[in-house]
Amino acid sequence: MIRSIKYIYLIFCLISTAFTINAQEIVSPNKKIKVIIASKKTSDNNSFGKVYFKILYKNKAEYIEVVPNSPMGITRDDQQFTDNLKLVGESKEKTVNEKYEMISGKRKLCTNLGNEKVLQYVNSNNKPLNIVFRVYNDGVAFRYEFTDKTNSLVNIIDETTTYVFPSATNRWLQEYIDSYEGFFPFSNTGKSNNKQEWGFPALFKVNNNPIWVLISEANITENNCAAKLSNLKNPNEYKVTYPSPRDNFKQTGVKTTLPWNSQWHTLIIGQLSDVVESTLITDVSEPNKLKATSWIKPGAVSWNYWANNHGSKDYKKIAEYTDLAVEMKWPYTLIDWEWDVMSNGGNLVDAVNYAKSKGIKTLMWYNSGTSWLEPTPNDRMLTAEKRNKELAWLKEIGVYGIKVDFFNGDQQDMMKYYVDILKDAAKYQIMVNFHGATAPRGWVRTYPNLMTTEAVYGAEWYNNKPTLTNKAAAHNATLPFTRNVIGSMDYTPVTFSDSQHPHITSYAHELALSVVFESGFQHFADRPEGYKSLPVEPKEFLKNVPVSWDNTKFVDGYPGEKVIIARKKGNQWYLGGLNGKDQSQILKVNFDFLDKGNYKLKIIKDGVNDKSFAVEVKNVTKGAVLNVECLPRGGFVAVLEK
């Protein structure tokens, strides 16, 4: 018996020390998040091995393991940096601390504050690899760096980077498709009926603890591809996976000269408020590269496509939506696909001139020319020569923005195409909306003329299938914790009438989407009569609700069930609340986010039925609590002024 106990103890010691070779530790500025990086030898007499990281989060008085030991590594076609790494040096820990300002997004003034350490490795061929870690108060970011120099191209083909989670982890994951237009259903198994591939962002609630992790990536350049997650081998192990080759683009991974660095792999960690309020994606992205930005103006947009799929063929329809923008005090109208064959009283230039005569700025749709080629114009953005010619013409006739649609995957050539569009559009002071596109990965900081990106199963889907009708309420109450965390989201919200398929969310729920969903261009999708027939209070609210914000606070919520978001603009706070359930629910608003003083609160909420509103005016102070009764799939908005 004693001999057995000694044997078990010996095995325990061997296991516990397997990850203590070359262990490094980095802690966040507020000491809540700790990252430990360690190596595991591949044999007893070999100093090379595998590198693992784990993440701990301080919940109350103790650290809880959030991400257990998870493998790291990257592979080139000429070298592997996976199980043959040796630590040869490390930098001193330094603090990254910079202030920056955003034109659109959840917060105007942001702080990039974290502790950074660079770990220097070589592989068994003595080729160098750096792994850079930053640990923030609300998460962790890391990336790979090849520091040697080459004149010839190398092909970076794979990563062994894997995020390991305890089996008792709840998750909200979107099955991967390159348009990122899907739902984030709850799962506690990590299994699907598909390929076991998941798109970013991916949300986890860890091991029955009140600790959340949102995984994504940021700061992708022309020398990166975008990645996804795969847990095909083990449902609790999510491997970073590069996109598969396309028919007309056979490349896997990235081809580049060296030196080179990967995108930042990001994990937002903490309470739900930490996740919703985080700016980690832009924190780690390159600073603004545009010299002048005063021409970049977020704003509300009237949009004809939702109710009139081919409305941009019709000059009179464009004029009707221009007049809607005038009445609703929205600065923009979007002329969508097929404008190149506009008739019925005028052409595209006539429509732009009509809008200018009314004080409305026009935005215009383009097909990227890389995927579905039927909608036109589809050949004006794909090459630098054509693109610059078209952008110069848009500038000349007085167009302020473009919506580029139908991109074709997450491969390196598509990443370069996105960045090239942003660069070229900025030269002509043109703002950009990416549609049918990859999820946001921090470009909005580097190129602030990027106003919004679709990458969401939005209201446009009421046109296509009946699926959204019954799923919209829970889906809408999930997006603030998932997709909208990582960047502006072109959901095209706030519809009161029906498109091809009905919606059964309440009118107050729809009104609340204008606050709950953040987008630098907020395309209000309903037909003109949908807005003109509104009662005075909700109509006035939509005339004045901002689309860019000075601050954002998470008030309450849980994915798929409910959410309350508070956003500040100037001296006013705007609140939006959604009931994601099919039964009535009381949403509890705690006003702890307010400064001291007395505030006037005007609330617009569900009325006696789902197509009516009720309006109340109250006085509230910091710390007050308000219970708002919501109908099934209901909601509310409120405005607070000191």
The tens digit of pLDDT for each residue in 261-275 reads 999 999 999 999 999
Computed over every residue of the chain, the mean pLDDT equals: 95
Give the pLDDT mean for 218-240.
97
Note the pLDDT of residue 12: 39
Q: Is the pLDDT of residue 5 over 50?
A: no
Residue 3 confidence class, pLDDT cut points 50, 70, 90: very low
Note the pLDDT of residue 124: 95
CA 222 to chain centre: 19
Note the pLDDT of residue 60: 87
- Decide: 255 and 155 in contact? Cβ < 8 Å: yes
Give the pLDDT mean for 119-123.
98
Please measure the distance between the N-terminal and C-terminal CA atoms of the chain and give it in whole angstroms: 74
CA–CA separation, 129 and 378 (whole Å): 42
Give the helix/strand (H/E) hosting 382. Answer: none
Burial class (CB in 10 A: 0-12, 13-18, 19+), 320: middle
Note the pLDDT of residue 11: 41
Q: Which sign, positive or negative, has the C-alpha torsion 253, 257, 258, 264?
A: negative
- Decide: 523 and 309 in contact? Cβ < 8 Å: no
The ranges of the chain annotated as CATH 2.70.98.10 are 2-283
CA–CA separation, 33 and 140 (whole Å): 8
- Decide: 478 and 441 in contact? Cβ < 8 Å: no
Residue 44 confidence class, pLDDT cut points 50, 70, 90: low
Note the pLDDT of residue 1: 43
What is the CATH T-level fold of the domain 299-455, as seen in this structure?
Answer: TIM Barrel (3.20.20)
Q: What is the CATH number of domain 457-642?
A: 3.20.20.70
Task: Determine how many CB atoms are found less than 10 A away from the CB of residue 590.
Answer: 14
Note the pLDDT of residue 45: 63
Note the pLDDT of residue 192: 87
Note the pLDDT of residue 21: 61
Q: What is the pLDDT of residues 395-426, one digit of tens each?
A: 999 999 999 999 999 999 999 999 999 999 99
Q: Is the pLDDT of residue 515 over 60?
A: yes
Q: Is the pLDDT of residue 282 over 60?
A: yes
Give the pLDDT mean for 158-182.
97
Give the single-character DSSP code of 531.
H
Give the single-character DSSP code of 76.
E
Phi, psi of 10 (to 5 degrees): -60, -45
Give the pLDDT mean for 481-505.
97
Phi, psi of 519 (to 5 degrees): -160, 130
- Decide: 312 and 304 in contact? Cβ < 8 Å: yes
CA–CA separation, 46 and 31 (whole Å): 35
Note the pLDDT of residue 111: 98
Give the pLDDT mean for 103-108.
98
The least confident of 15-24, 72-81, 235-244, 577-586 is 15-24
The ranges of the chain annotated as CATH 3.20.20.70 are 299-455, 457-642
Tokens of 199: 């798109």
Note the pLDDT of residue 68: 97
Pairing of strands 33-41, 21-27: antiparallel
Give the pLDDT mean for 533-540.
98
- Decide: 175 and 191 in contact? Cβ < 8 Å: no
Q: Is the pLDDT of residue 9 over 80?
A: no
| Class of domain 2-283 as given by CATH | mainly beta
- Decide: 134 and 115 in contact? Cβ < 8 Å: yes
Note the pLDDT of residue 615: 98
Give the helix/strand (H/E) hosting 157. Answer: strand 154-159
Note the pLDDT of residue 14: 43
If you count DSSP H runs as helices and E runs as strands, how many of each does the chain have, helices first? 12, 37
- Decide: 460 and 501 in contact? Cβ < 8 Å: no
- Decide: 148 and 164 in contact? Cβ < 8 Å: no
Give the pLDDT mean for 446-455.
98
